[in-house]
Amino acid sequence: MNASPGHAPVKSIMPKWVRNPQEFVGGIALMAIAVFALWASSDLQGMRGFSFGAGTAPRMFGFLLLGLGALITVVGVVTEGPHLAKYHWRGPFFVTIAILTFAFTIRSMGMIFAAMAAFLIAACGSPETRWTETLIVAVCLTAFCALLFPYALGLPLQLLPTFMIR
Amino acid sequence: MGDIFSNLGLGFGVVFQFVQWTPAFLGGASIPIPVNILLCLIGALVGTLVGVLPGIGTIATVAMLLPITFGLPPVGALIMLAGIYYGAQYGGSTTSILVNIPGEAGSVVTALDGFQMAKRGRAGPALAIAAIGSFFAGCVATVLIALLGAPLTKIALAFGPAEYFSLMVLGLIFAVVLAKGSVLKAIAMIVMGLLLSMVGSDIETGASRMAFNIPELADGLGFATLAMGLFGFAEIIRNLDAGGETDRKLVQEKVSGLMPTRQDLKETTPAILRGTVLGSILGILPGGGAVIASFAAYTLEKKVAKDPSRFGHGEIRGVAAPESANNAAAQTSFIPLLTLGIPPNAVMALMVGAMTIHGIVPGPQVMQKQPELVWGMIASMWVGNLMLLIINLPLVGIWVRLLRVPYRLMFPSIVVFCCIGIYSVNNAPTDVMIAGAFGLIGYWLIKHDFEPAPLLLGMVLGPLMEENLRRALLISRGDWSVFLTRPLSAVLMAIAAALLILAVLPSLRKKRDEVFVESEN
| Chain B residues with beta carbon closer than 8 angstroms to that of A45 | 205, 207
**Per mean pLDDT, which range of A126-140, B95-109, B238-252 is the poorest?**
B238-252
Strand B200-201 relative to strand B31-33, pairing? unpaired
User: Nearest chain A Cα to B232, which residue?
Assistant: A95
Contact A90 B240 (CB under 8 A): yes
Nearest to A153 among B71, B240, B411 (CB): B71
Contact B408 A134 (CB under 8 A): yes
Contact A71 B449 (CB under 8 A): no
Contact B210 A58 (CB under 8 A): yes
Question: Which residues in chain A come in under a pLDDT of 50?
Answer: 1-11
- Angstrom distances, CA of residue B201 to CA of B216, B319, B355, B427: 11, 48, 20, 20
Distance, CA of B476 to CA of B138 (rounded, Å):
43
User: Nearest chain A Cα to B69, which residue?
Assistant: A153
Distance, CA of B103 to CA of B492 (rounded, Å):
35
- Angstrom distances, CA of residue B31 to CA of A77, B5, B15, B34: 70, 30, 17, 10
- Which residue in B68, B191, B469 has the most chain A C-beta atoms within 10 A of its own C-beta, making it the best mutation to test that interface? B191
Distance, CA of B81 to CA of A37 (rounded, Å):
34
- B30 versus B426: the higher-pLDDT residue is B426
pLDDT of amino acid A3 = 39
Q: Is the pLDDT of residue B496 over 80?
A: yes
| Chain B residues with beta carbon closer than 8 angstroms to that of A68 | 184, 187-188, 191
3-state helix, strand and coil shares in percent for chain A, rounded to the nearest 5: 65, 0, 35
- B358 versus B140: the higher-pLDDT residue is B140
Instruction: Yes or no: say if B370 and B360 are a contact pair by the CB < 8 Å rule.
Output: yes
Closest CA to A44 of A63, A32, A58, A61: A58
- B23 versus A150: the higher-pLDDT residue is A150
- Angstrom distances, CA of residue B470 to CA of A43, B177, B493: 20, 27, 17
Contact A96 B439 (CB under 8 A): yes
Of the pLDDT bands very low, low, confident and very high (cuts 50, 70, 90), residue B270 is confident
Alpha helices in B16-122 (DSSP H): 35-52, 58-65, 74-99, 108-119
Residue A124 CA to its chain's centroid (Å): 18
Would you call A154 helix, strand, or coil by DSSP?
coil
Of the pLDDT bands very low, low, confident and very high (cuts 50, 70, 90), residue B21 is low
pLDDT of amino acid B404 = 74
Distance from CA of A115 to the nearest CA of B (A): 6
ipTM confidence score: 0.86
Nearest to B466 among A57, A130, A133 (CB): A57
User: Nearest chain A Cα to B450, which residue?
Assistant: A26
H-run or E-run covering B19: strand B19-21
| Chain A residues with beta carbon closer than 8 angstroms to that of B443 | 92
| Chain B residues with beta carbon closer than 8 angstroms to that of A108 | none
Give phi and psi for B20, each to the nearest 5: -75, 125
Nearest to A85 among B207, B447, B478 (CB): B447
Q: Is the pLDDT of residue B23 over 80?
A: no
Distance, CA of A18 to CA of B54 (rounded, Å):
36
> Of B56-70, B73-87, B241-255, where does the model show the most confidence?
B73-87
- Angstrom distances, CA of residue B56 to CA of A123, B53, B395: 18, 6, 20
pLDDT in tens, B297-311: 888 888 887 777 777
Instruction: Yes or no: say if B48 and B94 are a contact pair by the CB < 8 Å rule.
Output: yes
Arithmetic mean of pLDDT, B377-387: 84
| Chain A residues with beta carbon closer than 8 angstroms to that of B413 | 119, 137, 141
User: Nearest chain B Cα to A133, which residue?
Assistant: B409
Nearest to A153 among B68, B192, B240 (CB): B68
- Which residue in B235, B240, B444 has the most chain A C-beta atoms within 10 A of its own C-beta, making it the best mutation to test that interface? B240
Nearest to A68 among B188, B429, B469 (CB): B188
Opening angle at CA A63, ends A59 and A67, nearest 5: 170
pLDDT in tens, B29-51: 677 777 888 888 888 888 888 88
pLDDT in tens, B107-159: 777 877 888 887 777 778 888 888 888 889 988 988 888 888 778 878 777 78
Arithmetic mean of pLDDT, B331-357: 83
Instruction: Yes or no: say if A126 and B239 are a contact pair by the CB < 8 Å rule.
Output: no
Distance from CA of B195 to the nearest CA of A (A): 6
DSSP state of B338: I
Arithmetic mean of pLDDT, B202-207: 76
